[in-house]
Structure 1
C-alpha cells in the first residue's frame, strides 16, 4: 500500500510514526506531481564526474554525481549521500564491446523494508542509516545526534535485471583499442541541462560555427551600395530567406550557448524549428524524417537531427547568374576563365564598370576604350585600333544579377 492521501489531523489523535511518514509522503508526492505536470522531463543527470584513470584499469568509479530520478528522488554525492560502489569491469564478457550502466535506486516498497542500518547494509533497500551530529540553527543549544536516511544508489549494468529499481542510463563504455575501457563519446544520458552533457554542448557550438559560416557566405553574394547596407534584388528571394533563416536560428541558439543550464528538450525544440525552416529549400528530407525527442536516450535523436541540419545547410540555392573572376595579367590587361559547362549559345555576358565620373560620360567612354575578346585577339584589337566584341550599355540590370 503506497497511498499519498492527505493525513487527517484532529483532536485526540494518537501520534504514530506512520502519521509523519505519510505526511512527508503526501507533500513529496504533491511536489513531484506538480513538477512533472510543469515539465515532464524534470529528471536525469545534473552533474557527473568519472575517474578516467580507474576506467583505464577496468574499474568504473564515480567522483561526483548529482541526479534526479523519475519519481522525484534527489541524489547528490558526495555530500548528502554516498557515492555508488566502484564496479569491476573485468567480469564483463570479452564479446561485449559496449556496455551501458544505469543509475539505480531501489523502488519504494509499499509495506516497509525500505531502510537498513549501517551495521546491516542491505542492497535491496532504498535508504541506509546515517547518524550525524546536528547543530541548532537558531539558538545556542548543544549539538544533537540525529539519524538521517541516505539514498542507496548503485550502478547496474544492462546485463543485470533492473525490475526492482527506479533507474535510467547513466554512462556507456566501450573497449579501448589498447586495454581497459573508455567512455562512448556519442552517448548522451538523460540530462537536466545542456552543460551536464558535454558532447551536446560541443555539438551546439559546432552547429553555430556552421551557421555563422553560412551567414557570411550569403552576405558575400550581395552588393553593398552603401556601408553596412545589404541590397537584395527580386532574383535574390531564395538567398534572402535562407539568410533570414540562418541568422534567426543563430540568434536563438546564442541564448542556449550562453545559458547552458537550460533543459536539452528546449534546445531540441529550437533545432526542430531550424530543420523545418531549412526543409523549405530542399526536398532531400521530408517532415516525416524529423525524429522525436527521446529523453530516456537523447543521443540518437540529437545525432540524427544534427546530420539533417548540416546537410540542409549545404544546400546550394540555384541562381541564374555566376561571377567570372578577372585577374590582371599586366597593366590594363584583365583575363577571365570561361567554364564551358556553365555557358551555351543563350548565355548573356555583363561587364560591370564603376568610375569616378558622371554616368553619362562612363556610358560613352567604355565602348571606345575597352577591347573585349579572346586572349589571342585582344592584342590585335589594340594594335589595329579595332573595337573587338561590341559592348552595349544595359540601362536596366536584370533582376537575377546581384
Structure 2
C-alpha cells in the first residue's frame, strides 16, 4: 500500500513520531510512484559481487551489493551505506538428489499494523533493526549525538524459504562442481536494473554485435553499389532488406554496449524488434511465438530470443533454394529426408562443412574423408572404406546461398549408384569422421530454371 497524502502542518499542533514517520512515507512512496510510471520493472541488482572461493566450501557470501527491491527499498553496501547480509551455509539444505539450488536476497515486507523496526536489536521478522550511530552536526561538524537509524534486515535465503511475507531478488543458482564442492552457475542472470550488473548479459550483447558485424560483411561482399538498380534479382532484393534489419539494430546495440547503463528491457526490446523483422524471411516463423520479457527469468527470455535470432540469421533462403534439414546421429552420421521433388531435377547440391580444426583442415580432408550417400547405405560405405559422391570445393558459393563464415562449401556430384539410391529412397546420409571434430554441416539444393 502506498501513502501519497501530505501531512497537514499547522501552528500549535501536537507532534508525535507518527507525523515524521508518515512524512517520510509520503516522500518515499511519491518517488517510487514516479519511477514506476517512467520505467518498466525498476527493481533488481545494479551491481553485485559474490565470493567465488567461499562457495566452494558451501558458503554463500557477498563482497558487495547495490540495488532496489520491488517496493522501492534501496540498498548499497558499495559506499558503506548498508551492511552486507550475513553469509549463508547451504551444505545442509542442498539435497544430494538436487541438481541446483537457488538463493536470493530477501527483506520482510512493510507491515501496516505490525512492528517494522526491532528496537532491541533482534529483528526476527521486522523490516528494520535499530542501529545507533554517532552523528555530528552538519553545520559545525561537532556536537556529535547518538542517533538510532533503521538498518535494513536483508538476508540470504534459499528457494524453499521464500514466503509471501518477504520481498526477494534472485541472486544466484548453485551447482555441484564435480569435486565435492559447489560453484555458481555462470549462465544465471539475476533481475537487474543495469546491463553491467550481469557479465552474462554484457557478453551476450557483445556476441550479437560481433555476429551482426560478420553477417553485415558477408552480405556486403556481393554488392557493387550502394543503391537499387534496374534488374535486381529476387535474392538481391532480399539481401537488401536483410541487411537493413541488421544495420538498423547494430547502431543501437553498440550504443547500449558503450553506455553500459541500459536496462535489460531496453536490450530485449531492440533484439525483439530484430527477431520480428527476421521472421519476414521465413514463412514458417510467427512473431507471436517470440518470448516475452520476464524480469525474474532473464536467462530464459534472452536465451530463447537469442536462439531465434541465431537460427534466422542463417535462413535467408530465396525461392530457388531448398534447405534439407540434417539431423545428427552420434557418433559421426547425419541424415536428412528429401521431401521436395524438385531437388532431383535440374539442381545443384551444395554441402557446407565446418570444424573446430580450422578452414585449412576442412579444405584438405573433407573431399577425401566425408562420405555422402543414401541414408541406408552410408554406413556400409564407411565399413567397406568405399567413397561416396564426389565433393568439389567451391571457393565462392552460388549467389543463391547466403554463406556462413564458419563453413566451407562443396558441390556434390549427381551420378553413380549413391545418387540413384538417394533418388529412390529420398533420404540422404552423411559421414564426417573424427578427423574433423565439432563438425557443423548444412545441405542446400539450388534449383535451376
Structure 1, 138-147 or 95-104: larger mean CA deviation: 138-147
Match of 2:157 in 1: 156
SS in structure 2 at match of 1:272 = helix
Deviation (angstroms), 1:284: 4.0
Structure 1: gaps of 5 or more residues: 327-336, 342-402
Deviation (angstroms), 1:5: 2.9
Checking the alignment, whether the CA contact within 8 Å between 2:3 and 2:29 is kept in structure 1 is no
Match of 1:142 in 2: 143
Deviation (angstroms), 1:222: 2.2
Match of 1:178 in 2: 179
Checking the alignment, whether the CA contact within 8 Å between 2:50 and 2:60 is kept in structure 1 is yes
Match of 1:87 in 2: 88
SS in structure 2 at match of 1:47 = strand
Deviations 1:326-381 (A, max 9, x none): 9xxxxxxxxxx97656xxxxxxxxxxxxxxxxxxxxxxxxxxxxxxxxxxxxxxxx
Match of 1:388 in 2: none
CA distance in 1 between partners of 2:3 and 2:277 (Å): 48
CA distance in 2 between partners of 1:60 and 1:338 (Å): 56
Match of 2:334 in 1: none
Q: Is 2:56 aligned against 1:56?
A: yes
SS in structure 2 at match of 1:195 = helix
Aligned ranges 1:107-126 → 2 under 5 Å: 107-117=109-119, 120-126=121-127
Match of 1:97 among 84, 99, 112: 99
Deviation (angstroms), 1:154: 0.3
Aligned ranges 1:314-353 → 2 under 5 Å: 314-318=314-318, 340=413
Deviation (angstroms), 1:123: 2.6
Checking the alignment, whether the CA contact within 8 Å between 1:242 and 1:278 is kept in structure 2 is yes
Match of 1:219 in 2: 220
SS in structure 2 at match of 1:103 = strand
CA distance in 1 between partners of 2:275 and 2:309 (Å): 6
Deviations 1:297-340 (A, max 9, x none): 221011000000000001133376999759xxxxxxxxxx9765
Cα RMSD (Å):
2.5
CA distance in 1 between partners of 2:273 and 2:18 (Å): 50
Deviation (angstroms), 1:76: 1.2
Tell which structure's C-alpha radius of gyration is larger: 1
SS in structure 2 at match of 1:280 = helix
Checking the alignment, whether the CA contact within 8 Å between 1:156 and 1:162 is kept in structure 2 is no
Checking the alignment, whether the CA contact within 8 Å between 1:44 and 1:68 is kept in structure 2 is yes
Deviations 1:43-78 (A, max 9, x none): 001111000000011111111011100000101125
CA distance in 2 between partners of 1:202 and 1:123 (Å): 40
1:120/1:325 Cα in 2 relative to 1: closer, same or farther (>3 Å)? closer
Deviation (angstroms), 1:3: 5.0
1:338/1:50 Cα in 2 relative to 1: closer, same or farther (>3 Å)? closer
CA distance in 1 between partners of 2:210 and 2:105 (Å): 34
Checking the alignment, whether the CA contact within 8 Å between 1:222 and 1:231 is kept in structure 2 is no
Match of 2:360 in 1: none
CA distance in 2 between partners of 1:306 and 1:74 (Å): 31
SS in structure 2 at match of 1:41 = coil
CA distance in 1 between partners of 2:182 and 2:16 (Å): 51
Deviation (angstroms), 1:114: 1.3
CA distance in 2 between partners of 1:55 and 1:238 (Å): 51
CA distance in 1 between partners of 2:123 and 2:274 (Å): 50
Match of 1:234 among 221, 232, 235: 232
1:200/1:13 Cα in 2 relative to 1: closer, same or farther (>3 Å)? same
Match of 1:42 in 2: 42
Structure with a larger share of its residues in strand: 2
Q: Is 2:278 aligned against 1:285?
A: no
Checking the alignment, whether the CA contact within 8 Å between 1:245 and 1:277 is kept in structure 2 is yes
* TM-score (normalised: structure 1): 0.76
Checking the alignment, whether the CA contact within 8 Å between 1:4 and 1:22 is kept in structure 2 is no
SS in structure 2 at match of 1:206 = helix
Checking the alignment, whether the CA contact within 8 Å between 1:278 and 1:312 is kept in structure 2 is yes
CA distance in 2 between partners of 1:140 and 1:85 (Å): 33
Aligned ranges 1:249-398 → 2 under 5 Å: 249-318=249-318, 340=413
CA distance in 1 between partners of 2:150 and 2:131 (Å): 6
1:284/1:200 Cα in 2 relative to 1: closer, same or farther (>3 Å)? farther
Match of 2:344 in 1: none
Structure 2: gaps of 5 or more residues: 322-347, 349-392, 397-409, 415-449
Aligned ranges 1:127-138 → 2 under 5 Å: 127-138=128-139
